[in-house]
Structure 1
Amino acid sequence: MKISTILRPEAVKVITSATSKKRLLHDLGELAASVYKINAATAVEALIERETLGPTGVGHGVALPHARIPGLDAVQGAFILLEKPIDFDAVDRAPVDIIFALFAPENAGVEHLKALALVSRTLREPSVCTKLRANTDPVTLYTILTEAQTVQAA
C-alpha cells in the first residue's frame, strides 16, 4: 500500500486558522465530502465518535483521526496542515498542526490497519514533518507525503 493510493492531491489542504478540534473535524468531513463524495455529516459524526474512544493525537504535533464509513468501498485519506497548531488532546499534550485523517469502509479490517500503520510510520519521521511544516503549497505537501514512503523503502 502506498499513500498515493489512499490520498488524492485535491484532498490536501492548508488551513490558516482552525479554532478548535471540533471545527477541524468538521473541516475534515467537508474535505472528504468534496473529494470523495462521502456524506460530510456522516464523516464528522464518525470522527467525533472515534475521538470519544480516545484521542487520535499521537504526539509531536501529529493527529491521525480515523473512522469507518458505511457505503465506502476503499480507504481514503485527507490531509490538513494548520498554520497555527490547536489543542487536540494529544498523548503528549502538545498542540497539533499535522492532521492525516482516514476514512475506511465499515468492514475494512486489515486494509484500515495497514493504512493507519503506513501513515503513522510516515509521520513519525521527523524529517518528513519538518518538510511538511516548512511548506504551505498543497501540491508540495502531497509530493512530500507520497515521496517520503519511497525514500524510507530504499
Structure 2
Amino acid sequence: MDISKILEPQAIKVVGKMTSKKRLFQDLAEIAAGAYELCLEDTFDALQERESLGPTGVGHGVALPHARIEGLSRVVGAFMRLESPMEFDAVDRQPVDLVFALFAPAESGVDHLKALALVSRTMRDADICAKLRSNNDPATLHAILTESPAIKAA
C-alpha cells in the first residue's frame, strides 16, 4: 500500500485560517464527499464521533483524524495544509497546520490500520513536513505526499 492509492489529487486543499475543529471536520467531509462521493453528513458525523474518543493531534503540528464510513469500499484520504496553525488538543499541545484524514470502510480491519500506520510514518518525516509547509499548490502537495520513497505499509 502507498499513499497514491488512497489520496486523490482533488482531495487536497490549502486553507488560510480555520476557526474550529468543527469547521475543519466540515471542510474535510466536503473534500471527501467531492473526491470520493461520500455522504457529507455521515462523513462529518463520523469524524466528530471519532474525535470525541480522544484527540487525533499526534504532535509536531500534525493531526490524523480518521473515521469508518458505511458503504465505503476502500480506505481513502484527504489532506489539508493550514497557513495559520490552529489549536487542536494535540498530544504535545502545539497547534496543528498539517491534517491528513483517513476514511475506511465500516468493517475494514487490517487495511485501515496499515493505512493509518503508513500516513503516520509519512507525517513523522521532518523533511516531508517541511516540504509540505513550504508549498501552497495542491498538485505539488500531492506529489510530495505520493512520491516519498520512504514509506510503505507492511
**Shared fold (TM-score greater than 0.5)?**
yes
Would you say the 8 A contact 2:57–2:90 is kept in 1?
Answer: yes
Runs of at least 4 residues of structure 1 off by over 3 A? none
Provide the C-alpha distance between the structure 2 equivalents of 1:48 and 1:104, rounded to a whole number of angstroms.
Answer: 15
* Counterpart position of 1:26: 26
Q: Which residue of 1 aligns with 2:102?
A: 102
Secondary structure of the structure 2 residue equivalent to 1:16: strand
* Deviation for aligned residue 1:117: 0.2
Q: 1:16 Cα deviation (Å)? A: 1.1
1:17-52 CA deviation, whole Å, 9 max, x = no partner? 111111000000010011101011100100000001
Task: Give the Cα separation in 1 of the matches to 2:26 and 2:4.
Answer: 23
Partner of 2:121: 121
User: What secondary structure does 2:90 align onto?
Assistant: coil
Query: Counterpart of 1:63 in structure 2: which amino acid?
Result: A
Give unmatched runs, 5+ long, in structure 2. Answer: none
Deviation at 1:152, TM superposition (A): 4.7
Quote the offset at 1:57 in angstroms: 0.2
Size of the aligned set, in residue pairs, is: 152
Q: Which structure 2 residues correspond to residues 2-41 of structure 1 after superposition, within 5 A?
A: 2-41=2-41
Specify the code of the residue in structure 2 equivalent to 1:2.
D
CA shift for structure 1 position 5: 0.2
- SS of 1:55's partner is coil
Query: What is the 5 A alignment of 1:122-137?
Result: 122-137=122-137
Counterparts of 2:82 and 2:90, CA distance in 1? 15
| Runs (5+) with no aligned partner, structure 1 | none
Instruction: Flag the structure with higher helix content.
Output: 1
Please give the alpha-carbon distance, in whole angstroms, between the structure 1 residues aligned to 2:150 and 2:75: 23
Identical aligned residues as a percent: 62
Aligned-partner residue type, residue 123 of structure 2: L
Report the counterpart of residue 111 of structure 2 in structure 1.
Answer: 111
Distance in 2, matches of 1:77 and 1:46, equals 14
Instruction: Give the equivalent residue in structure 1 for 2:46.
Output: 46
* Aligned twin of 1:79: 79
Letter in 2 for 1:116: L
Give the counterpart letter for 2:147 in structure 1: E
The normalised TM-score by structure 1 is 0.97
Instruction: Give the corresponding residue for 1:64.
Output: 64
2:139 aligned with 1:142: no
**RMSD between aligned residues:** 0.9
Deviation at 1:151, TM superposition (A): 4.2
